[in-house]
C-alpha cells in the first residue's frame, strides 16, 4: 500500500518548540531601549530617548543610526512589511516611513486634537499601510484611541477612558485596549464602538496582547493582592482567569508568538509559557523589557542591549499572509519532486522540518514573476514533514501530498 507524505507550509503552532538560552546582543544604544520591532530575523529597529532610532540588517551584529531630530522618547515601533513602518512617542511624536526606515516623516496629529508637545502616543499598531490605531493620553481631553484609514494623513479619535498604554489589533474588526484605573476595553466593529471588559478593577494595566479575536493576555499593577498576576481570556474578553506570578514586581510587557508560546517580562524576571498560559517558568537571572517575535526568534530589550532566543521551530501569529494566488506548488500529489511557480515577484525562503522540529532543508528563491523552481524530495523517508515559506515577513501556507 502506498504511503503518503504530507508537506505543508506551517501554520501557527504546527511544529513543537524547544527551549534555548538567551543570548546577549550588544547594541549602540545611548540609553535604555523603550521600543523594538523586528521585521525579520535579520532586520529590526530599536528606539529610546531623544529620538534614538537604530536599525540592524544582520540580526544585531551591527547597527546604523536613523535617529529622529527630536528630544522625545520613542515608545512604539510597528512595521506592516519591509517598507512601511510607523513609530510613536512622547510629546505628540508620530512618524512613518515608506522606504524601510531610511527616512521618516511626521504624520498628522491635529485631527486627533493633539498639537505639538500635548499628547503622549504610547502605542501604534497598523493592520496594513493604510489602517492603523494609536493608544494615547492627553490630560486635557479624554481621548485614548485614534484610528486612520489613509496611512496617517487623517485620524478619528474616540473618548474611551483616561489612557490606553497598549492596544492589540488581532483583526480588522477586533481591537483591544488596556490602561490605567482598571480600563480594559474592546471594540468588535473596527473601533467605532467600545465596551468595558469585565476585569479586576484594581489593576493599572500595563500590557495587553491578543493572539486572535478570542485569546488574549493582560497584566499590570494590581493593588490587592500585592502579588502580581497575568490575566487570560479565551472568549474575547467576556471572562478572565489569572496566573499568580509570585512576584511583587509588575509584569510590564507580554507578547505571544502563537497561541501557545509567550513571554512576560518585568523588573528582575522573565517568564515563559509553551502551553498557552496554563503554566509559566520564571528566570530571575535576567531582566527583560519590550519583546518582538519574528519567525522562530524572540528579541527582548534589556537595558541598552537586547536578549535573543532562537527556537528550533516557531511560527508567529500576525504574520501578514501572501495571497493564495502568489505561489503554485505542483504536482499534487507529488512523488520525488515539487515545483514552485511564482505568479508575482517574491524573495521566498522555504524550510522543511520533521515532526520533531528538526530543520532538514532550506531554500532561497529570489525570483521574478513567471519563474518555476523545483525541489528534490526523493531523499525524504516516508512520513510527515512541515515546510514554511516567507517573503519578508509574509507567510504562505499550502498543503501538498506526496504519493510514493
Cα–Cα distance for residue pair 308/301, rounded to 1 Å: 9
Q: Residue 12: is its pLDDT beyond 50? A: no
Confidence grade of residue 7 (pLDDT, cut at 50, 70, 90): very low
Q: Residue 34: is its pLDDT beyond 90? A: yes
Domain boundaries of the chain, sorted by first residue: 4-8+326-403, 23-310
Cα–Cα distance for residue pair 161/144, rounded to 1 Å: 6
Cα–Cα distance for residue pair 144/135, rounded to 1 Å: 6
Q: What percent of the chain is predicted at pLDDT more than 70?
A: 83
For 362-377, give one letter per residue: b (16+ CB within 10 A) or e: eeebebeeeeeeebeb
Nine-digit cell string for 200: 479586576
| Count of beta carbons in the 10 Å neighbourhood of residue 180 | 18
Q: Residue 180: is its pLDDT beyond 70? A: yes
Residue 228 gets which letter from DSSP? -
Phi, psi of 120 (to 5 degrees): -115, 120
Q: Residue 323: is its pLDDT beyond 70? A: no
Residue 264 gets which letter from DSSP? E
- Give pLDDT, residue 165: 83
Query: Which of 92-101, 142-151, 349-358 shows the lowest mean pLDDT across its residues?
Result: 349-358
Query: 130 near 149, Cβ under 8 Å?
Result: yes
- Give pLDDT, residue 331: 78
Query: Which of 92-96, 104-108, 170-174, 315-319 shows the lowest mean pLDDT across its residues?
Result: 315-319
369 or 145, higher pLDDT: 145
Confidence grade of residue 368 (pLDDT, cut at 50, 70, 90): confident
Threshold 0.85, pTM exceeds:
no
Confidence grade of residue 88 (pLDDT, cut at 50, 70, 90): very high
Phi, psi of 195 (to 5 degrees): -135, 150
Q: How far is CA 128 from CA 24, 177, 282, 293, in A?
A: 32, 19, 35, 18
CATH architecture type of domain 4-8+326-403: Sandwich (2.60)
306 or 387, higher pLDDT: 306
Highest mean predicted confidence (pLDDT) among 173-182, 187-196, 243-252: 187-196
- Give pLDDT, residue 254: 96
- Judge if the upstream peptide bond of residue 85 is cis by omega within 30 degrees of 0: no
- Give pLDDT, residue 356: 52
259 or 58, higher pLDDT: 58
- Give pLDDT, residue 359: 65
Query: Which of 18-22, 30-34, 185-189 shows the lowest mean pLDDT across its residues?
Result: 18-22
Q: Residue 380: is its pLDDT beyond 60? A: yes
Query: 389 near 349, Cβ under 8 Å?
Result: yes
Element (H or E) spanning 295, and its range?
none
258 or 233, higher pLDDT: 233
CATH architecture type of domain 23-310: 7 Propeller (2.130)
Query: Which of 17-21, 179-183, 347-351 shows the lowest mean pLDDT across its residues?
Result: 17-21
Neighbour order of strands in the sheet with 33-38: 33-38, 44-48, 53-56, 64-65
Amino acid at each position: 500500500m502506498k504511503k503518503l507524505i504530507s508537506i505543508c507550509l506551517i501554520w501557527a503552532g504546527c511544529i513543537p518548540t524547544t527551549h534555548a538560552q538567551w543570548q546577549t546582543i550588544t547594541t549602540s544604544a545611548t540609553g535604555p531601549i523603550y521600543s523594538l520591532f523586528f521585521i525579520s530575523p535579520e532586520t529590526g529597529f530599536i528606539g529610546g530617548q531623544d529620538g534614538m532610532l537604530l536599525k540592524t540588517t544582520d540580526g544585531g551584529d551591527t547597527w546604523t543610526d536613523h535617529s529622529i531630530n527630536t528630544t522625545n522618547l520613542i515608545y512604539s515601533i510597528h512595521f506592516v512589511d519591509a517598507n512601511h513602518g510607523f513609530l510613536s512617542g512622547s510629546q505628540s511624536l508620530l512618524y512613518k516611513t515608506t522606504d524601510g526606515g531610511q527616512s521618516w516623516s511626521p504624520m498628522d496629529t491635529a485631527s486627533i486634537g493633539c498639537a505639538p508637545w500635548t499628547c503622549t502616543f504610547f502605542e501604534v499598531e497598523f493592520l496594513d499601510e493604510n489602517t492603523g490605531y494609536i493608544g494615547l493620553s492627553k490630560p486635557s481631553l479624554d481621548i485614548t484611541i485614534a484610528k486612520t484609514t489613509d496611512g496617517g494623513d487623517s485620524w478619528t479619535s474616540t473618548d474611551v477612558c483616561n489612557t490606553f498604554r497598549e492596544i492589540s489589533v488581532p483583526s480588522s474588526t477586533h481591537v483591544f485596549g488596556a490602561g490605567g484605573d482598571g480600563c480594559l476595553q474592546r471594540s468588535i466593529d473596527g473601533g467605532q464602538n467600545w465596551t468595558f471588559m469585565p476585569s479586576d478593577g484594581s489593576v493599572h494595566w500595563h500590557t495587553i496582547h491578543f493572539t486572535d479575536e478570542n485569546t488574549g493576555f493582560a497584566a499590570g499593577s494590581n493593588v490587592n493582592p500585592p502579588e502580581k498576576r497575568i490575566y487570560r481570556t479565551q472568549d474575547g474578553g467576556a471572562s478572565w482567569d489569572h496566573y499568580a506570578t509570585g512576584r511583587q514586581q509588575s509584569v510590564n510587557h507580554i507578547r505571544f508568538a502563537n497561541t501557545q508560546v509567550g513571554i512576560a517580562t518585568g523588573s528582575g524576571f522573565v517568564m515563559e509559557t509553551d502551553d498557552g498560559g496554563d503554566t509559566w517558568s520564571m528566570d530571575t537571572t535576567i531582566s527583560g523589557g519590550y519583546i518582538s517575535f519574528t519567525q522562530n526568534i524572540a528579541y527582548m530589550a534589556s537595558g541598552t542591549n537586547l536578549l535573543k532566543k532562537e527556537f528550533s521551530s516557531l511560527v508567529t501569529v500576525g504574520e501578514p499572509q501572501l495571497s493564495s494566488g502568489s505561489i503554485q506548488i505542483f504536482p499534487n500529489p507529488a512523488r520525488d519532486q515539487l515545483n514552485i511557480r511564482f505568479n508575482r515577484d517574491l524573495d521566498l525562503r522555504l524550510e522543511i522540518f520533521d515532526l520533531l522540529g528538526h530543520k532538514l532543508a532550506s531554500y532561497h528563491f529570489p525570483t521574478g514573476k513567471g519563474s518555476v523552481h523545483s525541489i528534490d524530495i526523493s531523499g525524504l523517508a516516508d512520513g510527515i514533514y512541515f515546510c514554511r515559506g516567507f517573503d519578508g515577513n509574509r507567510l504562505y501556507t499550502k498543503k501538498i501530498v506526496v504519493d510514493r
